Amino acid sequence: MRTIAIHLPQFHPIPENDAWWGRGFTEWTNVARARPLFRGHAQPRIPADLGYVDLRLAEARQAQAELARRHGIQGFCFYHYWFQGRRLIERPVDEILASGAPDFPFMLCWANESWSRRWLGEERDVLLQQTYSMQDHERHATWLARAFADPRYLRVHDRPVFLIYRPLDIPELSAALQVYRRVVHAELHRDPFLVAVDSRSSGHDFREEGFDYTMNFRPQLGVIPGVADDGFGLRRWWRNCRLGIASGRLKAIDSAEFDRRMRAIEPRHDHYFPSVYVGWDNTPRRGERGVVVLGQTPARFHQQVRRAMDTVARRPPEEQLLFVNAWNEWAEGNHLEPDLAYGRAYLEALQAALQGRPAPAAD
């Protein structure tokens, strides 16, 4: 079992974010200004062991890798942003490639969404539009081949693994995938192992479009009633009141109910990698329009991991991958990195699950 943690590299300033959100903006800006919206709401989240990481620093990247390795994680999956040859928040990966450090496996996931002010992938108030062309796929594949050649790059059956977050957004998808296969094979003499993320189409078997595998993404926010509606709702008010929250806008759900709803739409085919999520609370980004999953604990997370492991236990060893969402999505309340509230409890729960031990007792 190889456990891969999804990694967001947006923890350093870039000129685009300076222009769009204000000078010096990083994800920490949203995290630090968060405030509790109801009794018991655990905001703001304060980082513990690693502090407010600046990913421009080699020491910070090394510390992340060491902490992950000590708790059973065997690689990072970095979000990768490509817009017709323009890359964003690329510095951490570029420096990892150039320096050879840290000596820790990694892979890339193309987060092929337009950037907007809404933080949920909707095409509203767009800051940078995602567009496609076959010529650009050629350029993109050529750049990727150089990253795939790194000896640390994660492989399945000796083929570099590449994820695409919104596959169905790509016009002429099957033809586009053939471009990536052809260019990478010409450069490396092996095909890429292409994986579709089913974040918007859970249960779909993407082999039909030419992928090798699917990654079953969690959390699937679409199963939450009214999740796309930011307005006041009377039904939402009553649902929230039963959870102890007096709000008709906030989208809240208990983690046990959320898990039941996501199980109902899991893939029925066998060619997918499972994923688990640590938690969810994106109110630092979206305020009262956000989504909060209540009742998630290290013990429940441990159960998620064990169940996900069972789904791949009988597959060939090379295909036993488990993705953890996420290493550091702090503004979504979805992070393995320690905070002051839980310390290393989620990391320790993950490690215990991977080793077949019971969840550690809560302090």
For the cut 60, the answer to whether the pLDDT of residue 120 exceeds it is: no
Residue 286: pLDDT above 70?
Answer: yes
What share of the chain has pLDDT > 90, as a percent? 94
Q: Which residues pair with 109 in a beta bridge?
A: 79, 163
| Residue 307, pLDDT score | 96
Q: Is the pLDDT confidence value at 101 over 80?
A: yes
Which residues fall within 8 angstroms of residue 64, CB to CB, at 6 or more apart?
7, 50, 53, 76, 102, 327, 328, 337
Q: Average pLDDT for residues 184-195, to the nearest whole number?
A: 97
Average pLDDT of the chain, as a whole number: 95
> Is a pLDDT exceeding 80 seen at residue 257?
yes
- State residue 345's pLDDT score: 98
For 113-122, 252-261, 339-348, which range has the lowest pLDDT when averaged over its residues?
113-122
Residue 245: the pLDDT is 95
For residue 304, what are its two tokens? 């998620």
Q: What pLDDT was estimated at residue 183?
A: 98
Q: Which fold has domain 2-354?
A: TIM Barrel (3.20.20)
**Packing angle of the helix pair 298-312, 255-263 (nearest 10 deg):** 10
What residue spans define the domains of the chain?
Answer: 2-354
**Average pLDDT of span 262-271:** 93
> Which band of pLDDT confidence, cut at 50, 70 and 90, is reported for residue 124?
low
pLDDT tens per residue across span 231-254: 999 999 999 999 999 999 999 999
Percent of the chain whose predicted confidence (pLDDT) is above 70: 98
